[in-house]
Amino acid sequence: MWRRLGRGALLLLLAVALAGALLEGALQLAARLMASHRADDETTLATAPLVVYGDSTPYGLGNDVRFSDEIARQGNVVVANRSWPALNSTQVARVVHDDLATAAPRVLIVMAGVNDGWNIDDVPSALLGDAAGWRQKLPPLRILRLIGLGVGGWSRREETARLLPSEGVRRIQSASYRSIVADAQAKHAEVLFLGYQAEGYNHVGDLAEEVLRAEHGDRLVSLRDLFMVDGERRMIQADQFHPTDEGQRAIAARVLEALRARGWLVADPLAADGSH
């Protein structure tokens, strides 16, 4: 009897280990597929005079319309979009740094920082202080990260928020924005930062705009007034943060206005016929 129980327990452990290995493999494959999807704009990046960087809003999460595509269409210019949902500003700055090693756009349009209050992946420990908590200690296995995100859910975000006060978030955002500007200037490119359409989790979107207004005010385009009229939200999805398709078009119009006012939008006659 004990031998049968032991054999059953061993088989169960083997099954669990096999299932875990298969799940880890599936997660790794999904990550590579998503990374390749994000790289879809790499060909465009090589020739695009305008490149959009950021998180879920410029990516177009929940949208059929992206403001980057509207800028390309209405401005008659090639635009590459290198955004990805949930990126923090440190990760966005790294994408910018890596891209500019080979690309030479004229203008970078950047919307980043709203995820800095909960996503501390890749953030230098010196910027975190005591906030280098559970997420940075997780091994690189994606199954463990999935469990870490699934067990506790938003409480994990709240834990990080407690460890990472507003000043810590500002410190991370400030370092990221300075890095982006420095990398752009080294390639003689301009940077246009966008504020957020809503305050974001724990008001981190507000913090991002405060930092940008204080340190890069001449490069900042605020969007909040487009989405809040007489105290009422408009053009915002049910999640109370991401813009609707109409909101994406409104962002495009505001950004086009800012680009033209600065003389940074030069129409490309080849863009209209798809020659790029």
Which tens digits make up the pLDDT trace of 62-87? 999 999 999 999 999 999 999 999 99
Please tell me which residue, 106 or 6, carries the higher pLDDT value: 106
* Cα separations in angstroms, 100 against 128, 173, 257: 26, 20, 25
Which pLDDT score is estimated for 177?
A: 98
The answer on pLDDT for 123 being more than 60 is yes
**Mean pLDDT value across residues 235-247:** 97
List the domains of the chain with CATH numbers: 41-262 (3.40.50.1110)
- Using one digit for the tens of pLDDT, what is the confidence trace for 23-55? 545 544 444 444 444 444 677 899 999 999 999
**Averaged over 205-220, what is the pLDDT?**
98
In angstroms, rounded to a whole number, what is the distance separating the alpha carbons of residues 62 and 50?
A: 23
Q: Give the separation between CA 44 and CA 257, rounded to whole angstroms.
A: 23
